[in-house]
Structure 1
Amino acid sequence: MDEIDLRILAELQRNGRLSNAELAERVGLTQSPCLRRVRQLERTGTIRGYHARLDHHALGRGFEVFVDVLMRHQDRATTAEFERELESLPDVVEVFRLFGEPDYLLRVVVSDIDTYERFHTEALSVLPGIANLTSHLVMKQVKAAGGIPLQPGNSTLH
């Protein structure tokens, strides 16, 4: 991956709706080579997809909770079943399996605290292998996911 590929990725990460013509102009290529590079980045899985970022408040899901999950049993069958069942819960929008404790971190978006309480009681607490759930209610989002730093020198570590 060279500097032009990184510039293509940075531009698409900022705005995935750019036309090939706009993208090519921004990265200093003609349209055909730019499109070839984008297609190659897609084929290799570097670009995994294009998505619209939605406002969960506007969609009536303004109550956000992070949930620490501590597992009682971590054998392969239990963790596979736990992860499979999480996939079927649309209110759980992100799941991270972690080293150390907790074992999992879930991000849940629902309409309000009453809905979350029902979801916690009826869906989360009955998942297989759970020893403990700890809920962290979001007060406000300070920094949104802005993409992956791509340009050399953007890191705070030098």
Structure 2
Amino acid sequence: MDQIDQQIVVELQKDARRPVRDIARTVGVAASTCFERIRRLHETGTVLGYHAEVDLAAVGRRVQALVSTQVRPLSGEVIDRFERETSAMPEVMAVFVVAGGDDFLLHVGVGTMEDLHSFLVDTLSRRKEVVGFRTSMIFRHRRDPAVAPLP
């Protein structure tokens, strides 16, 4: 990826619905060149897809938390299964496999505190491989929608 590809990636992350000619003008190349570079970024797997950013409260997820989770026995099979199964849970928005004192970090989004309590007590704590978890409430969440490649 050269500097033009990096700029195109940043512009696509900001607004992937912009016309190619607008992106081309912003990065200083011809529209045909920009189109070809975007096609190549898809083919090489640099650009994996496009997603709509939504207001979490508007879709019923007013309460968010990060749940640090420990599982045992710590094996590849247990890790893979837990990651796969928690990813499929409707309350779980993201799953991170981590190192350190915890094995997983779950980003959970639900409607109410009662829903969070129910998820923790009725769903997570009943899993036989879960030996412990800690919950950190999220008051604000900010994410830069455009992540530029590092120099």
TM, length-normalised to structure 1: 0.88
Stretches of structure 1 lacking an aligned partner (at least 5 in a row): 153-158
Deviations 1:91-143 (A, max 9, x none): 100011111121110000000100111111222112341110111111223x3
How far the C-alpha of 1:151 sits from its partner, in A, is 6.7
CA distance in 1, matches of 2:150, 2:122: 45
Root mean square deviation, CA, Å: 1.5
Q: Which residue of 2 aligns with 1:155?
A: none
Q: Does 1:46 align with 2:46?
A: yes
Task: Answer yes or no: is the 8 Å Cα contact 2:6–2:149 preserved in 1.
Answer: yes
User: How many percent of aligned residue pairs carry the same amino acid?
Assistant: 32
How far the C-alpha of 1:86 sits from its partner, in A, is 0.9
User: Aligned runs of 1:90-101 on 2, under 5 Å?
Assistant: 90-101=90-101
Moved over 4 A (4+): none
CA distance in 1, matches of 2:61, 2:83: 23
Deviations 1:3-59 (A, max 9, x none): 111111111111111111111111111121111100111111111111111010122
| AA at the equivalent of 2:82 | F
Stretches of structure 2 lacking an aligned partner (at least 5 in a row): none
Q: Which residue of 1 aligns with 2:140?
A: 140
Across the two proteins, how many residue pairs are aligned to each other?
A: 151
Q: Does 1:79 align with 2:79?
A: yes
TM, length-normalised to structure 2: 0.92
Moved more, 88-97 or 22-31: 22-31
Partner SS state of residue 146, structure 1: coil
